[in-house]
Structure 1
Amino acid sequence: MSDVKRDELSRLCRERREELGLSMAQLAAASGDDAMASSWVARLETGQLRDIPRRERLAALAKGLRLSYQTVARAAAAQFLDVEDDAVWSADGTVRVVVDRMGEMNETGRQELAQIAELFSRRPTH
């Protein structure tokens, strides 16, 4: 693990909350999680949380930030687990294309994978 401090979820939360014009208390209330307090949001945004939040807390945070769960979960995995999301996602976040050696692909290849993900996200499910 590198010595670089990861802050993907902290940054996402702070930037999106500010974009929505919410205070930390308003975000906590909008989350629907009665146990989420503005002090927890402050600790998250300032990088003071030590452990990855539980799935339920991430889902509540996503609700409050008006983002998909996948977006919030990917940021949490990057920050707390040092997991890079080496994948291409459909615009709605429901389909992920994972390719070995993704980092070696050029932008054209990534765009083609994004188109494939979009096609699969529009397929009817049974």
Structure 2
Amino acid sequence: MSAMAATDGNPGDVVSGPERTQLADLIRDRRSELRESLDTFAAKAVDPDTGTRVTRGWIYRLETGQKVTPPVYEELVALAAAARLSVERLQDAAGAQFHGVEPLRSGTGEAVAYVRKLDQLPPDQRERLLRLIDSMVAPQTGDGQ
């Protein structure tokens, strides 16, 4: 059983603060869009590779702003399966809610995809790509470049 699934309001639980509710909002809104009950959604919250499950109680506590333990990767995969969303989207929301890490934002979403692909390039290719971009769009002053 995962740490998240086993936690039920223990003193060591982490509180998701009221100002940071990105994952909670995403899951609550997505479950509503899918028109699924909490029971139905929780039954689908299973990582297909590891069998890790997210409990109904944890999802309920998340959605209602109660204390929850931040999810580990396999639990995010399970939630992504239930929500029918990419695990990356849930990672961004969880990072913002539990760790204060704001994901890169773009109106089209293309910037996020480019950054993720950039991380896969070797350092020399990243440097060449940056020089190419700089030749097309000059770096803005005051942004540390």
Q: TM-score range by the shorter chain?
A: 0.5 to 0.7
Structure 2, unaligned runs of 5 or more: 1-16, 119-132, 134-145
Match of 2:115 in 1: 96
Match of 1:43 in 2: 61
Percent identical = 38
Shift of 1:52: 1.5
Residue deviations 1:91-113, cap 9 Å, x none? 9x754268xxxxxxxxxxxxxx9
**Looking at CA atoms only, which structure, 1 or 2, has the larger radius of gyration?**
2
The 1:96–1:47 alpha-carbon spacing in structure 2 relative to 1, beyond 3 Å, is farther
Structure 1, unaligned runs of 5 or more: 99-112, 114-126
Q: Determine if contact 1:62/1:69 at 8 Å carries over to the other structure.
A: yes
2:61 alignment partner, SS class: helix
How does the TM-score come out when normalised to structure 2?
A: 0.57
**With CA pairs under 8 Å and 6+ residues apart, which has the higher RCO, 1 or 2?**
2
Q: Determine if contact 1:25/1:37 at 8 Å carries over to the other structure.
A: no
Structure showing the higher strand proportion among its residues: 1
RMSD: 2.7
Shift of 1:85: 1.1
Shift of 1:51: 3.1
How does the TM-score come out when normalised to structure 1?
A: 0.64
